[in-house]
Structures are given as structure tokens and as C-alpha cells.
Amino acid sequence: MSRLVLHTSTLLLAALAGASSVHAQRTASSGDEPYVVEYYYKARWGYTAEFIRLFKKNHYPVLAKQIESGRIVEVSAVAPRFHATEDGRWDYRVTIVFRNVQAAHESPDLEPILKQLYPDRALFDREEQRRFEILDAHWDVPITRVDLTR
């Protein structure tokens, strides 16, 4: 059973290397192999707690429903223990392991999920807007495993 795992890494290097998730080490370029994407979020100073609270309240449940459907295999998140230079700083890295490359690139119909989870859609929309208002940056990085033994 997959679930969101929120924890800080013991070293920034370990976080950058993706050592917190076995699945984050796996990727695929095609076929039925898992496809891994890392999503980086850099919040404005002083807003990281608000960002992750809104992420866990509004976005993670949508991802969890996609885990139930089989589109996503695993979702995990890490935060660096120490801060980096401002130009290289990120506050949260969310790693999503999709079933395969096709699942990652399909456009799922999220409307039934949103209706089920969020009867007060106006509140959901305001909070999601706020989650992105407090971001300084957000970027997505599809990753691929590098075999160091060859």
C-alpha cells in the first residue's frame, strides 16, 4: 500500500540523490516500467508550513485517489534538513512514481475525484490558488536511473 511519506533527509546530499525512496531510484523511458518525476517547490520565506499544510489538505488526497486507481504507484516527499544558497534552494521535493510513462502523460478526468473529496469547490479553488501564490518557484524533473556498475 502506497502512502505519502513526509520526512526530512539526514543530509542534503541524500535528499538530492533521492536516497529516501527506493522507487525514486527507478525510472523508465518506455513500456510498463515505472516512470518517476520529482516536483520541486520553493515557497516564499516564512510560508513553507502553510504550503505543506495546503498540499496535504488539498493536493495529496487527489494523488491518493490516483494511487487507488493504479495510475500512480507511490508518492513521497522530503524537505532538506538545512538550507542551500537562495538560487539553489528548494523547500519540498515530491516524488511521484507513475505506473508507466503513458500513465504519467495521460490527462485523467479529475472532476469526479474533486467532486467527491471537495463538496465546497470554491474553498478548494481558493486554497489551491493560495498554495501557488506563496510559491517562488516550482519545477518538474523526470528522472532516470544511472547504472554506476557498468
For 100-131, write each residue's pLDDT tens digit.
Answer: 999 999 999 999 999 999 999 999 999 999 99
pLDDT of residue 22: 38
Helix ranges, the chain (H): 12-17, 48-54, 60-69, 101-105, 111-117, 121-133
- Enter the C-alpha cell of residue 69: 486507481
Give counts: helices (H), strands (E), the chain. 6, 5
Domain ranges of the chain: 6-143
What is the CATH code of the structural domain delimited by 6-143? 3.30.70.100
For 59-100, write each residue's pLDDT tens digit.
Answer: 999 999 999 999 999 999 999 999 888 889 999 999 999 999
Q: Who's near 150: CB < 8 A, 6+ residues apart?
A: none
Could you give the CA distance from residue 27 to residue 119 in angstroms, rounded to a whole number? Answer: 36
Reported as a pLDDT band with limits 50, 70 and 90, residue 48 is: very high
pTM of the model: 0.78
Q: Who's near 22: CB < 8 A, 6+ residues apart?
A: none
